[in-house]
Amino acid sequence: MSDPILEARNVSRHFSVGGTLFRKPDTLRAVQDVSLSVQPGETLAIVGESGCGKSTLARMLMRLITPTSGELFFEGRHIESISGDDLTKLRGEMQFIFQDPFSSLNPRMSVGKLVGEPLETQRPDLSAKDRRAKVSELLAQVGLRPEHANRYPHEFSGGQRQRIGIARALASGPKLIIGDEPVSALDVSVQAQVVNLLADLKEQLGLTLVVIAHDLAVIRHMSDRVAVMYLGGIVEEGPCDRIFETPQHPYTMALLSAIPEAEYGIERQQIELSGETPSPIDPPPGCRFHTRCPFARERCRTEVPALRDAGPHHRAACHFFEEIASETGAPARLPEPRSAAAESRFSLYADALAGAPVRPREPET
């Protein structure tokens, strides 16, 4: 394995919430002791329920917020210690794609200005004419036309606005792009087009992608590796195929078994979770998942499970995953044919990844 492009070592982020004149604020542990690394050229998906800390982790990786403790490295350089011109350069090398393409684009700026703005900072050597040419090139790269540079974000559909966001992210020539739910606000057929575009750009430009997502069909089709988060920590990580076909952590099993229609194409024992996710202000001791885990035992209430080897490049944080995996049985393929809904979703993604036109098309503006 090569040196990681991005690495987090024991990173935590806490927030103070709810303090008054007479009461000390509580500490919300949004991310707790997370370590992960991203290899150049791979797509890492970070998945988990809403509120599990995945977006906070993404913002720390981008240096948009500072960790309370722990260290972050980009290409071996300690991110916190980078400043001045080197920080400007780093900001160009790491770019962010937001969930809501509309609110992330300034409605008063034309597309040409939105896409050209990062070039002013990252490429001050370009003349105005060269900058306009570069904007046209970037628009073409994401499937838009040069004349779109003169229009404003509200004139575009959701998928096209996300393309504008991607063109803006590409303007600084990034090595790494972090997408926070980059397609979740889009219609499913448009999602497939944007997934296709990201896969193409990754291939053409040698990009590395970190994708925060909750849609397991998206993750299944675009990721090389998956990290599963629960209540601020990573409970399982490994190659995408292994996570989907032989999950080891009960929380991952529950996430996968909760997908209606078994959209990812694998049937396994249903694992139902009881209760709500505990508050990150007062997380349970021992294994944080023990209040909802159907396999919890006494040891789970007191002892924090370490993230340990569960197969090639695969780790899980559970005291008993070996026993649980044999108890729940090996997963079996769904009998063919899949349901009509699952089949249509699969074919959309298959088309998208094969580079074929995806139906139905977005309305032209």
Q: Which residues bind ligand SF4 (CB under 6 A)?
A: 249-250, 287, 289-290, 293, 295-296, 300, 305, 318-320
Question: Look-up: residue for tokens 């809403």?
Answer: 50
DSSP 321-335: HHHHHHHH---EEPP
Which is closer to ligand SF4, CB of 91 or CB of 319? Answer: 319
Q: Which is nearer to ligand SF4, 122 or 246 (CB)?
A: 246
Q: Which is nearer to ligand SF4, 126 or 296 (CB)?
A: 296
118 half-sphere exposure, CB direction, 13 A CA radius: 27
What distance in Å separates the CA atoms of residue 354 and residue 349, rounded to the nearest whole number? 8
Decide: helix, strand or coil at residue 344. helix
Q: Judged by CB, which is closer to ligand SF4: 172, or 257?
A: 257
DSSP 212: E
* CB 36 to ligand SF4: min, Å: 19
Q: Which lies closer to ligand SF4 via its Cβ, residue 251 or residue 349?
A: 251
In the complex, the smallest distance separating the C-beta of residue 219 from ligand SF4, rounded to whole angstroms, is 21
Please count the other Cβ atoms lying within 10 Å of the Cβ belonging to residue 19.
10
CA dist list (Å): 68 to 58, 65, 147, 352: 14, 9, 46, 40
Residue 326 CB partners (closer than 8 Å, separation 6+)? none
Q: Taking the complex as a whole, how short is the minimal distance between the CB of residue 300 and ligand SF4, in angstroms?
A: 3
DSSP assigned state of 103: T
Cα–Cα nearest to 98, from 177, 192, 172, 207: 177
State how far the Cα of 31 lies from the Cα of 106, in Å rounded to an integer: 30
Q: Are 67 and 79 in contact (CB under 8 A)?
A: no
244 or 289, CB closer to ligand SF4? 289
Distance separating alpha carbons of residues 341 and 37, to the nearest angstrom: 36
32 or 162: CB nearest ligand SF4 = 32
Closest CA to 111 of 144, 151, 71: 151
- Minimum CB separation from ligand SF4 for residue 233, in Å? 11
| Cα–Cα distance, 22 to 24 (Å, whole number) | 7
Q: How far is the CB of 246 from ligand SF4 (least distance, A)?
A: 16
- Is residue 148 within 8 A of residue 139, CB to CB? The reply is yes
For ligand SF4, the closer of residues 174 and 232 by Cβ is 232
For 167, the 3-state DSSP assignment is: helix
Give whichever of 153 and 286 is closer to ligand SF4, judged by the CB atom. 286
- For residues 236 and 248, the answer to whether their CB atoms sit within 8 Å is yes
Q: How far is the CB of 316 from ligand SF4 (least distance, A)?
A: 8
Nearer to ligand SF4, 38 or 307 (CB): 307
Instruction: Supply the minimum distance, in Å, between the C-beta of residue 254 and ligand SF4.
Output: 10
State both tokens at 259. Answer: 């997908």
As measured in angstroms, the least distance from the Cβ of 296 to ligand SF4 is: 4
> How far apart are CB 241 and ligand SF4 at their closest, in Å?
22
* CA pair distance 208, 174, nearest whole angstrom: 9
Taking the complex as a whole, the smallest distance from the CB of residue 283 to ligand SF4 amounts, in Å, to 13
Letter for the amino acid at 69? Answer: S
